[in-house]
Amino acid sequence: MVEDKEKHLFFPRVWLYARTSTKDHDAVDWQLSELADWAAQEGYRVVGRSYDFASPKVIWCSGLSAMLHVVRRGEVDAVAVTWISSLGRTRKKLIKILATLQKHNVALITTEENLRYQLYLYGLDTVLVKHTMRKADERSCPTA
Protein backbone atom coordinates (compact mmCIF):
# COMPACT_ATOMS: atom_id res chain seq x y z
CA MET A 1 0.00 0.00 0.00
CA VAL A 2 2.84 2.38 0.84
CA GLU A 3 4.46 1.67 -2.55
CA ASP A 4 1.19 2.57 -4.29
CA LYS A 5 1.00 5.84 -2.35
CA GLU A 6 4.61 6.70 -3.21
CA LYS A 7 4.03 5.94 -6.90
CA HIS A 8 0.99 8.22 -6.94
CA LEU A 9 2.86 10.99 -5.16
CA PHE A 10 5.64 10.84 -7.73
CA PHE A 11 3.10 11.01 -10.55
CA PRO A 12 0.13 12.61 -8.83
CA ARG A 13 -3.27 11.77 -10.28
CA VAL A 14 -5.27 14.78 -11.41
CA TRP A 15 -8.84 15.25 -12.62
CA LEU A 16 -9.47 18.09 -15.06
CA TYR A 17 -12.75 19.98 -14.78
CA ALA A 18 -14.11 22.75 -17.01
CA ARG A 19 -17.35 24.69 -17.00
CA THR A 20 -18.92 27.45 -19.05
CA SER A 21 -22.24 29.19 -18.61
CA THR A 22 -23.03 28.97 -22.32
CA LYS A 23 -23.02 26.13 -24.85
CA ASP A 24 -19.64 27.38 -26.08
CA HIS A 25 -17.80 24.16 -26.94
CA ASP A 26 -14.70 26.14 -27.91
CA ALA A 27 -14.44 27.60 -24.40
CA VAL A 28 -14.63 24.16 -22.79
CA ASP A 29 -12.17 22.72 -25.31
CA TRP A 30 -9.78 25.60 -24.57
CA GLN A 31 -10.06 25.08 -20.81
CA LEU A 32 -9.47 21.32 -21.04
CA SER A 33 -6.57 21.82 -23.46
CA GLU A 34 -4.94 24.39 -21.16
CA LEU A 35 -5.41 22.10 -18.17
CA ALA A 36 -3.97 19.09 -20.03
CA ASP A 37 -0.93 21.15 -21.12
CA TRP A 38 -0.43 22.33 -17.55
CA ALA A 39 -0.70 18.77 -16.19
CA ALA A 40 1.86 17.45 -18.68
CA GLN A 41 4.26 20.29 -17.89
CA GLU A 42 3.94 19.79 -14.12
CA GLY A 43 4.25 15.99 -14.18
CA TYR A 44 0.67 15.12 -13.27
CA ARG A 45 -1.03 11.99 -14.57
CA VAL A 46 -4.49 12.86 -15.93
CA VAL A 47 -6.90 10.16 -14.78
CA GLY A 48 -10.08 11.81 -15.99
CA ARG A 49 -11.81 14.92 -17.15
CA SER A 50 -15.31 16.28 -17.16
CA TYR A 51 -17.09 19.46 -18.11
CA ASP A 52 -20.44 21.17 -17.86
CA PHE A 53 -22.42 23.72 -19.82
CA ALA A 54 -24.52 25.33 -17.11
CA SER A 55 -25.70 28.75 -16.07
CA PRO A 56 -24.66 30.08 -12.66
CA LYS A 57 -28.18 29.29 -11.41
CA VAL A 58 -27.68 25.55 -11.91
CA ILE A 59 -26.39 24.13 -8.66
CA TRP A 60 -25.20 20.59 -9.46
CA CYS A 61 -24.10 19.26 -12.83
CA SER A 62 -23.14 15.85 -14.17
CA GLY A 63 -19.50 16.77 -14.83
CA LEU A 64 -19.06 18.17 -11.35
CA SER A 65 -20.75 15.10 -9.86
CA ALA A 66 -18.39 12.81 -11.79
CA MET A 67 -15.38 14.70 -10.45
CA LEU A 68 -16.65 14.58 -6.86
CA HIS A 69 -17.37 10.86 -7.24
CA VAL A 70 -13.71 10.06 -7.99
CA VAL A 71 -12.63 12.40 -5.18
CA ARG A 72 -14.78 10.48 -2.69
CA ARG A 73 -13.43 7.16 -3.96
CA GLY A 74 -9.84 8.32 -3.40
CA GLU A 75 -8.92 7.98 -7.07
CA VAL A 76 -7.30 11.42 -7.44
CA ASP A 77 -4.70 13.48 -5.64
CA ALA A 78 -5.66 16.82 -7.20
CA VAL A 79 -8.42 18.57 -9.11
CA ALA A 80 -7.43 21.19 -11.67
CA VAL A 81 -9.66 24.00 -12.95
CA THR A 82 -8.83 27.16 -14.84
CA TRP A 83 -10.78 29.39 -12.45
CA ILE A 84 -12.24 28.56 -9.07
CA SER A 85 -15.56 29.97 -10.23
CA SER A 86 -15.77 26.88 -12.45
CA LEU A 87 -16.66 24.93 -9.32
CA GLY A 88 -19.51 27.22 -8.35
CA ARG A 89 -20.65 30.78 -8.04
CA THR A 90 -22.34 30.63 -4.65
CA ARG A 91 -20.54 30.69 -1.35
CA LYS A 92 -22.56 27.77 0.00
CA LYS A 93 -21.73 25.52 -2.96
CA LEU A 94 -18.03 26.44 -2.93
CA ILE A 95 -17.72 25.75 0.78
CA LYS A 96 -19.35 22.36 0.33
CA ILE A 97 -17.03 21.42 -2.55
CA LEU A 98 -13.94 22.72 -0.76
CA ALA A 99 -14.89 20.77 2.35
CA THR A 100 -15.23 17.59 0.28
CA LEU A 101 -11.79 18.11 -1.26
CA GLN A 102 -10.31 18.81 2.15
CA LYS A 103 -11.95 15.75 3.72
CA HIS A 104 -10.40 13.51 1.06
CA ASN A 105 -6.97 15.21 1.06
CA VAL A 106 -7.30 16.37 -2.53
CA ALA A 107 -5.41 19.44 -3.70
CA LEU A 108 -7.25 22.10 -5.66
CA ILE A 109 -5.25 23.75 -8.42
CA THR A 110 -6.41 26.78 -10.38
CA THR A 111 -4.23 27.54 -13.38
CA GLU A 112 -5.40 31.05 -14.32
CA GLU A 113 -5.67 32.53 -10.82
CA ASN A 114 -2.36 31.16 -9.57
CA LEU A 115 -4.04 29.78 -6.47
CA ARG A 116 -2.16 26.61 -5.77
CA TYR A 117 -2.27 24.96 -2.40
CA GLN A 118 -3.46 21.93 -0.58
CA LEU A 119 -6.54 22.58 1.52
CA TYR A 120 -5.77 19.93 4.11
CA LEU A 121 -2.24 21.24 4.56
CA TYR A 122 -2.94 24.94 5.00
CA GLY A 123 -6.63 25.12 5.93
CA LEU A 124 -7.21 28.17 3.75
CA ASP A 125 -10.71 27.28 2.60
CA THR A 126 -12.29 30.45 3.99
CA VAL A 127 -9.59 32.65 2.43
CA LEU A 128 -10.16 30.94 -0.91
CA VAL A 129 -13.90 31.38 -0.71
CA LYS A 130 -13.52 35.11 0.03
CA HIS A 131 -11.10 35.47 -2.88
CA THR A 132 -13.50 33.65 -5.18
CA MET A 133 -16.46 35.77 -4.21
CA ARG A 134 -14.42 38.94 -4.77
CA LYS A 135 -13.25 37.71 -8.21
CA ALA A 136 -16.81 36.75 -9.20
CA ASP A 137 -18.04 40.20 -8.15
CA GLU A 138 -15.29 41.87 -10.19
CA ARG A 139 -16.23 39.90 -13.30
CA SER A 140 -19.97 40.49 -12.94
CA CYS A 141 -19.67 44.24 -12.17
CA PRO A 142 -17.29 45.83 -14.69
CA THR A 143 -15.80 49.12 -13.65
CA ALA A 144 -16.85 52.27 -15.46
Q: What's the structural domain count of the chain?
A: 1
CA distances from 9 to 17, 44, 94, 135 (A): 20, 9, 26, 31
> What is the pLDDT, as a whole number, of residue 1?
45
Spatial distance between the Cα atoms of 41 and 25, rounded to a whole number of angstroms: 24
Q: What is the pLDDT of residues 55-108, one digit of tens each?
A: 666 666 889 999 999 999 999 999 999 988 888 777 788 888 888 998 898 988
CA distance linking residue 116 with residue 101, whole number of Å: 14
CB 106 within 8 A of CB 47: no
| Residue-wise pLDDT tens digits, 16-50 | 999 988 888 899 999 999 999 999 998 999 999 99
Domain that holds residue 128: 2-140
**CA distances from residue 137 to 81, 88, 111, 114 in whole angstroms, order as listed:** 19, 13, 19, 18
Report the CATH number that the domain containing residue 67 is assigned in CATH: 3.40.50.1390
Q: By CB neighbour count within 10 A (0-12 exposed, 13-18 middle, 19+ buried), where does 139 fall?
A: exposed
